[in-house]
Amino acid sequence: MTFALAQPHMYSASADPIPDLRARFDAVVTPHLDRLLAFAIRRSDSVADAEDAVQEAFVRAWLGFADLRDDANARPWIYRILRTVLSDSREKSGRRQQLVFITRLEDAHDELIGGEKDALFSEVVSRLDGEAIHRALAKIPEDFAAAVELHDIDGFKYAEIADIVGVPIGTVMSRISRGRKLLAGAITSDRSTTPAEAQADDLAERRVMRGGPR
């Protein structure tokens, strides 16, 4: 997937700065394209919608790139732009994610891992494919889904996530903790609709996770 970026009109008395600016953009922003697209796909109704969102984010990033002072901040900076684009798109279309009742999701989480700590979250997720995660993320509120995605899937630090979503670090940590519970509950809710054979396999997996009969 490639993008054609509009070239802003920037000139200096000595030389045209566009080639240097474009080289810098390609070096510090473009390498994040694949991860940005994966993030957008998990937040969109279709791959085409995700590609449109990333295209728009790259255009906005290019138009404002001269204002980026520290290249080390490029990754959270472009993610923040993409989240704004996705948010704008949801508001324009009037789309609202289907939310599963939060208390029911948290109860399902407790049933899944027996009320143990978040340490089991990675093990739960590792047993599921990308589509299962995508479906589960779509069922939980955006604030929690984004926090879990940015930390557990995209590997951002708490401070970076706070910068991306515009909330204090303490709020980020709280959203990640609760978001994991909601996601695990949503996974359980989703898998409860599978055929009896799949449910039996799921039960066997849970026993293994809890150290029960194998």
In this predicted structure, which of 39-43, 72-76, 186-190 has the lowest mean pLDDT? 186-190
Q: With 0-12 CB in 10 A as exposed, 13-18 as middle and 19+ as buried, what is 193? A: exposed
Predicted local distance difference test score (pLDDT) of residue 121: 61
pLDDT beyond 50 at 129: yes
- Encode pLDDT of 84-106 as tens digits: 999 888 776 654 444 445 555 55
Predicted local distance difference test score (pLDDT) of residue 191: 64
Instruction: Extract the tokens encoding 50.
Output: 């995700």
Mean confidence (pLDDT) of the chain: 75
Length of the chain in residues, anyone? 214
Mean pLDDT in residue range 154-175: 92
Q: Report in angstroms the alpha-carbon separations of 94 from 46, 86, 163, 193.
A: 16, 12, 26, 28
- Encode pLDDT of 25-65 as tens digits: 999 999 999 999 999 998 888 899 999 999 999 999 999 99
Pairwise pLDDT comparison (107 vs 141), residue with the higher score: 141
Question: pTM of the predicted model, to two decimals?
Answer: 0.61
Predicted local distance difference test score (pLDDT) of residue 207: 43
Q: Which domains does the chain have, with CATH numbers?
A: 18-93 (1.10.1740.10), 102-209 (1.10.10.10)
